[in-house]
Amino acid sequence: MEELLDKLLEECRGYTGQGRVATYIPELAKANPRDLGISVLNSDGRHYQSGDWHKRFTIQSVVKPILLLQALMDNGEEYVHARVGVEATGKPFDAINVTDQMLRSDHLNPMVNMGAIAMCTLIRGSSYEERFQRVLELTRRLAGDPDIYVDEAVYCSEKRTGSKNRALAYLLQSCGMITDDVEEVLDCYFKACSISVNCRDLASIAFVLASRGRLPQTEERVFPSQYARYVNAVLMTCGMYDGSGDFAVNVGVPAKSGVGGGIMAVVPTRMGIGIYAPALDAKGNSLAGIQVLKGLSEKLYLSIF
C-alpha cells in the first residue's frame, strides 16, 4: 500500500503548482503550496502513509461533518434535519445569495458556511465555549489523538478577517434561524475551523464514519450507525462544495474538503483517508488532493457507484 501511495504522490505532485493557497485568511497564506501528504487507515487496522502526512494544518471546513455529528448526537435526526437541510446548494461554500426567496432551513446544508454556523447553535452547552470544547473532545476521540489543539494564530486571523462569515451569520439571524448572540456563535465556529490536525487524524476520523460509528482497534461504538449513514450521505452530495458532482463521478466516495488543504475521504466498510495539499482549485478544494484520490479510487476500485 505505501508503495502505491508513494507512486501516486509522485505522479500527482505536479498538480500542486497549478493551485493557490487560501489568502483570505492571512495565516493560511503561509502554507507551502508544494506540500502533499496522505494517510490511509485500512480495515485491517493498519495505517499507511506517504509524503507530508505528518505536517499539521487547520481542519477548516473538514470540521463540518464533526459539527453535524455532534448535533445529531445531541438532538437526533428529525430535529437537526428540520433546522438545517441536506440539499446541495450548487453555489460556492460562502455564497450569500443561496435563494431569491426568504431564507429557509431547507435552502442550506451542513457543509456550507451558513449551514455550519447554524449547526453550532444546535450543539448543547451552557455557553458557546462549552459547546466548542465538546466539539474539540469529539474530534480528539474520533482521531484517537488527545493532543489535538486549536491553532491560536489561525483562530485570531479568522476572527479578525471573517467579515463574510459575519454577514452570513447576521443574515441567518435576520431570517430567524439564529436567536443567540452572533459573535458568540461565530467564535465557536472560528475556533472549530482552527483545530490543528494532520493526515493521520483525518484518516482516523474518516475510518470511524466508514465503520459506522466504531473506533478502530477497540471497536467501541461512539455513535449510532444511522448517524454515520446520515453524515456520509450529506458528504457524498455536498462535501466537495459545488464540485461535488464531478467528485462523485471521478472518485465516488463521501468526502469533505477544507481551505486549509485537507480532504477527509470515507470508504464505507473499507478505509478512512486523510490528505493534505494546500494549493486549492477555484472552488476551494485541494487540487492535487483530488487527483491523488482519483488515482487511488481507480487503482483500488473505491467508488461506491
Q: Which of 226, 242, 232 is nearest to 270 (CA)?
A: 232
**Residue 10: how many other CB atoms lie within 10 Å:** 12
- Give CA–CA dist 212/222, Å, rounded: 9
- Give CA–CA dist 273/155, Å, rounded: 25
Torsion of CA 150, 233, 271, 251, to 10 degrees: -100
Is residue 213 a contact partner of residue 227, using CB atoms and an 8 Å limit? yes
- Give CA–CA dist 79/21, Å, rounded: 37
Q: Which residues are catalytic?
A: 61, 64, 189, 241, 259
Listed in sequence order, the residues at least 6 apart from 301 whose beta carbon sits closer than 8 Å to its beta carbon are none
- Give CA–CA dist 68/77, Å, rounded: 10
